[in-house]
Structure formats: structure tokens, C-alpha cells
């Protein structure tokens, strides 16, 4: 990834681990719900907003910061 893209990421650069979810909008929403039900994420607000993936046409992404 380029430095410009890294600067645009809406997540902080701390020592927290990140889980990137990339896929169709439906796949991303399903995975967010699955992570919530399985208690991998304790709250849906821990995910960044779903945005179009800048590196893959037709794909969307979100990031879970743990």
C-alpha cells in the first residue's frame, strides 16, 4: 500500500491489533454480524464505517480495532 493510502486510514496507529474485512457489501455486513454474535467484537461501534475498498473495484471494507 502507498503512504498516501496509509494516511487516509480512519484508524489510529497504536499498538492495537486490527482485523480488516474486505468483500462485497453483503459479505462485510454478514461478517460484522457474525463477529458480534460470536463475541469477537463486543460492540458494532468498534468497526470503522463500511467504505469502498480503494484497491479493489466493487469491494467494500471495514476495520475492527481490538
pLDDT tens digits for range 10-64: 666 666 788 999 999 999 999 999 999 999 998 888 999 999 998 889 999 999 9
Coil, helix or strand at residue 13 = coil
pLDDT at 6: 63
Residue 13: Cβ within 10 Å count: 8
Q: What is the pLDDT of residue 27?
A: 97
Grid look-up 499498538 returns 15
CB 28: neighbour CB atoms within 10 A? Answer: 20
Kindly state the DSSP code that residue 42 receives in the 8-state scheme.
S
**Dist CA 43 CA 35 (whole Å):** 9
Please tell me the pTM assigned to this model: 0.72
pLDDT at 7: 65
Give the model confidence (pLDDT) of 3-15 as tens digits. 666 666 666 666 6
Three-state SS at 9? coil
Amino acid at each position: 500500500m502507498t503512504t498516501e493510502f496509509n494516511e487516509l486510514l480512519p484508524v489510529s496507529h497504536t499498538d492495537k491489533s486490527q482485523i480488516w474485512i474486505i468483500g462485497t457489501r453483503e459479505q462485510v455486513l454478514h461478517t460484522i454480524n457474525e463477529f458480534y454474535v460470536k463475541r469477537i467484537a463486543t460492540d458494532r461501534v468498534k468497526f470503522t464505517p463500511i467504505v469502498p475498498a480503494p484497491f479493489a473495484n466493487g469491494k467494500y471494507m471495514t476495520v475492527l480495532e481490538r
